Amino acid sequence: MGLSDKISAEADKAKGKLKEAAGKVTGDDSKVAEGKAEQAKGELKGSVENVKDKAKDAID
């Protein structure tokens, strides 16, 4: 629920975008898919962190 989790989520999204772009440049469809999956993982982590923050705010 901390800053490190949010940074991790953003890092996953950034790595995914880079992989996807590299895959498009090289024509490697599996890298494109890996990149999209990593971005989705980052989005999910970010969403979980937002829910945790809202729950904490509601409790406080």
Residue identified by tokens 């590299």 is 22
Q: Is the dihedral of CA 47, 48, 50, 55 positive or negative?
A: positive
Q: What is the per-residue pLDDT across 35-52, written as a single tens digit (0 to 9) for each?
A: 999 999 999 999 999 998
Instruction: Report whether 25 contacts 13 (CB < 8 A).
Output: no
Distance CA 33, CA 39 (A): 10
Distance CA 25, CA 8 (A): 26
Q: Residue 1 has what pLDDT? A: 54
Among residues of the chain, what percentage have pLDDT more than 70? 98
Q: Tell me the average pLDDT across 11-25.
A: 97
